[in-house]
Amino acid sequence: MQYLHADWPAPDNIHALTTTRTGGVSQPPRDTLNLGFNCGDDRHAVLKNREQLNTHLSLPSPPLWLKQVHGSTIIHGDDHQTNIKADGSYTDKPQQVCAILTADCLPIFLCNETGTEIALLHAGWRGLAQGIITQAVKRLQSPPEALMAWFGPAIGATAFEVGKDVKNIFQTYNPGTAKAFTFQPERQSWLCNIYALAKIYLNTLGIRQIYGAQHCTYTEEGLFFSYRRDKETGRMASLIWMD
């Protein structure tokens, strides 16, 4: 199995990574390490992939999988239950494994400088617009200046096409978000930089330590699933936990 480990100055007790699409048993077009149940894959293949993930990473506990709905609900790890509707989780408990699934949306990892709090967010444009980052930061006890963020792989700025309605939603929140959009006159649409949008939200909250944002799920077909590119595809997992 191949992973992207978070490249950030987090304390040594913090483990954070995103899977790639390789190393599992799922068949095309969800080949091979699909970790999501709700994308048309064989359930037994997904279970096998999750089992292999747990074993390969020697996870301290089963991941806290969520029923993601592109919203802004964040839960504490202690409140997790099967099929709970949420798009992020946080914890101050060692060995609780926060988890989300993505295939273009942005995984946002958060931790504090002392390694006592973590959070993980599924941030598509809808979640960002609804304030998922703000909701997460409110639930953490650490001040924003003591937090750091790592952006896992998401759709890149040259591939994420949106309409004027999406741009207007963000500009209503903050006129400064205009710099995250590039107009395409020939298509009368906009290219959206979801990494830049998330950074604006984090900066507005006082979080300056921000890392990652080097990948594009849409263009790096050999590494990542992309819903925008393929429609029928699998899901990568992002995981974070504390020793």
* Per-residue pLDDT tens digits for 197-211: 999 999 999 999 999
pLDDT, tens digit (0-9, with 9 covering 90-100), for 35-80? 999 999 999 999 999 999 999 999 999 999 999 999 999 999 999 9
Residue 167's SS3 state is: helix
Single pTM value for the model: 0.96
Q: Where are the domains of the chain?
A: 3-156+204-242
104 φ/ψ sector (left φ>0, alpha ψ -120 to 50, else beta): left
The pLDDT assigned to 232 comes to: 96
Distance CA 234, CA 216 (A): 16
List of the chain residues with pLDDT < 50: none
The pLDDT assigned to 31 comes to: 97
- Token code pair at residue 224: 């990542």
Instruction: For the chain, state the CA radius of gyration.
Output: 17
**3-156+204-242 architecture in CATH?**
4-Layer Sandwich (3.60)
Where would I find the H helices in the chain?
A: 43-57, 125-129, 132-139, 164-173, 194-205, 227-230
> Residue 154 CA to chain centroid, in angstroms?
8
The pLDDT assigned to 222 comes to: 97
Residue 30's SS3 state is: coil
The pLDDT assigned to 173 comes to: 84
